[in-house]
A and B are shown apart, each in its own frame.
Chain A
Amino acid sequence: MFLIRNFEQKVDELSKAGLVPGTAHLYVGMEAIAVGSCAAMEQNDLLTSTHRGHGHCIARQLDPGRMLAEILGRADGYCRGKGGSMHIADISRGVLGADGIVGGGIPIAVGAALGMQRRGIDAVVFCFFGDGASNQGSFHESINLAAVLRLPVVFICENNLWALSAPFAETTAGGNVAKRAAAYGIPGERVDGNDIEAVFKTISDLAIRARKGAGPALVECLSYRWEPHSLFTRGELRPQSEIEKWKSKDPVERFRDQLVRRKVATSKTIEQIDAEVSAELIKAVDFAKSSPAPEPETAFEDVEVQGAA
């Protein structure tokens, strides 16, 4: 969680310094969802991510240096500079990819579950998407298909209450994504997305259920993004009082307090982790900044796989 928070702050700094060629969507404020959910993942499990995907990648231990290099459009980035922030993927870590299309990853998650079955590998797919995606047709089609095929997918709606400029309440009939699960005859849970324990417990239980062959489930994690929609859209459209209210519910601070209160860690240990995270990020930034721009001719590589099976 600390790493995600600090990573996003670095991205913001690098962007303000003019080093991010495109855009990125910061995950600040929502860290508990990615970390709590991914803690429930097992070896072969997979996830599909969203345009706001850095948190999921870091929760799956992707390399912050290569992630930053990609965001800066450098040759050593995960996508060799071709994907930017929105397409970081690493199948070896179960990350099937962030996605620039709202709702685009949802049917892919269903397919991944189907494909793993075909290959005879037990795996649960964790499908992240936002509140906006819950109004896409792909949400309905995919959950319905997963439900009729009883596929092991946990659909995780990260409800941060705003699309770019549109509030959830004004765009979403019924005002509750989790309740839609009832229509598909699958479990639907709404949890406090800033409470890492609640997220972990709920997702973990439903993943275990899916692993046993009982089919998919839908979880709506209520949270809030602290930053504007993207680096590209810096003007703030939301009430400042609302932003402040949510900042006071900081999931990272809350987790620190829980750790200390329950004597899982001392304040000193946490400070030490903070220092380690800072040092790791300094190295990551150095790595990214020192990575060269991709050679222009590489723009013509990776369009297709050469040769047949």
Chain B
Amino acid sequence: MRQISFAEALNQALREEMQKDSRVFVMGEDIGRMGGLFKVTKGLLEEFGEDRVIDTPISEAAIAGAGVGSALVGARPVIEFQFLDFITLGMDQVVNHAAKLRYMTGGSVSVPLVVRAPVCGGVGLGAQHSQSLEAWFVHVPGLKVVMPSTPADAKGLLKSAIRDHNPVLFLENRLLYAQTGPVPEDDFTIAIGSADVKRIGKDITIVATGRTVPLSLTAAEKLAGEGIDAEVIDPRTIKPLDKATIVNSVKKTNRLVVVSDGWRTCGYAAEVMAMVVEECFFDLDAPIQRVCGKDVPMPVAPALQRAVMVSEEDILRACRVAVST
């Protein structure tokens, strides 16, 4: 199978959906002439023209609102926030409008909007360009939240997000953009709401999202050397959550570690832990461990970033605690 990067896979998904459906268009800062800060929209302006690849002013509230408005009248907008941090300037439109318009109107309208944004730190851009805010959006009824970890998942899920009739936040882990992986050539999609078992194991379940999936997989190989056989599950769409895949795994391994780049307090990992406690508490043989970003803003210096971000070592340590309890 063809190997392409995560960014190229996203680019292909956008290109193919734009070819297939003339209602689809992309809009955001520096996405046209520049092809996007991370090159996800590269070449789209040349192929589809400025009516469908719109470079906007630096106006996040207007970008978000224009996405909502165009979706309301039947277009299929894919808007980009250059960093998820910048969505704070457009939150009213995402939270008060995109998420609620269908409900507030008793089902008479729909908002088929895709909001793309990179998340995560690790490249020294500091506290306003590094946040993993996925938990905020998972909290809001009416939004779906997708966070893939491989190029194939990224492509298949972005296509599903564009075809979905609801607002979808599509969160791209910036540290994955250059990662390559096999991607099928046919027009495949991956269903929103389906987790993927990335490694089968019997001793412990690791649930991880985004870039912490590859981290967990390398950790799992090291654990194998210690005689610990870890199962690694990537929910892929963190809302709606594929509870069954996680619960079935925990029922088999009886131990759970949840890994998430977001902050620990009230974070996404807490939600997964609560779900497992509710669904299969008596199948657990040990307290659940969570590995999250530390509860501080993201610093810039590499040594400080390493101190606060999830590391492979953190995952190994948590797994060893979980199996030794």
Contact = CB atoms under 8 A, between A and B. Distances in A.
Interface stretch (B56-64, B178-186, B213-221, B255-263): B56-64
Given A46-B73, A112-B73, A303 B102 contact: yes
Interface residues of B, number: 51
B102 A142 contact: no
For this complex, into which size category does the number of interface residues on chain A fall?
35 or more
- SS class, residues of chain B in contact with chain A: mixed
Contact of B54 (A142, A149, A308): A149
A17 interface: no
B71 A111 contact: yes
A142 B106 contact: no
Chain A CB within 10 Å, residue with most, of B62, B73, B75, B163: B73
B103 interface: yes
B73 to A, nearest CB: 4
A308 B70 contact: no
Interface string A74-110: 0001111111000111110000110111001011111
B242 to A, nearest CB: 16
Contact of B75 (A46, A82, A100, A118): A118
Contacts of A97: 72, 101, 104-105, 109
A114 B66 contact: yes
Contact of B108 (A78, A104, A149): A78
B156 interface: no
A191 interface: no
Interface-central residue, A138, A141, A149, by most chain B CB under 10 Å: A141
A172 B112 CA distance: 36
Interface stretch (B92-100, B203-211, B268-276): B92-100
B227 interface: no
Contacts of B144: 304
Given A79-B104, A83-B106, A110-B66, A115 B59 contact: no
Contact of A108 (B27, B63, B72, B103): B72
B105 A89 contact: yes
B70 A115 contact: yes
B72 A118 contact: no
B283 to A, nearest CB: 29
Given A87-B105, A303-B102, A115 B164 contact: no
Contacts of A81: 106
B166 A305 contact: yes
Nearest to A82: B106
A303 B142 contact: yes
Interface in B202-254: none
A141 B70 contact: no
A82 B104 contact: yes
A309 B59 contact: no
User: Which 6 residue pairs of A and B lie closest in terms of their CB atoms, listed nearest first?
Assistant: A107-B65, A111-B69, A115-B70, A80-B106, A111-B66, A141-B62
28 contacts: A79-B104, A80-B107, A81-B106, A82-B106, A89-B101, A91-B72, A91-B108, A101-B92, A104-B96, A107-B62, A107-B65, A108-B69, A110-B62, A110-B69, A115-B70, A115-B71, A115-B75, A118-B52, A118-B75, A119-B73, A119-B75, A138-B61, A141-B59, A142-B59, A301-B107, A303-B142, A304-B165, A308-B192
Given A114-B54, A118-B22, A305-B166, 14 more contacts: A83-B105, A97-B101, A97-B104, A104-B97, A107-B64, A115-B73, A118-B70, A145-B62, A148-B57, A301-B107, A302-B107, A304-B142, A304-B165, A309-B112
Interface of B: 22-23, 25, 27, 51-52, 54, 56-57, 59-75, 77, 92-93, 96-97, 101-110, 112, 141-142, 144, 160, 163-166, 192
Interface of A: 46, 48, 77-83, 87-91, 96-97, 99-101, 104, 106-119, 137-138, 141-142, 144-145, 148-149, 301-305, 307-309
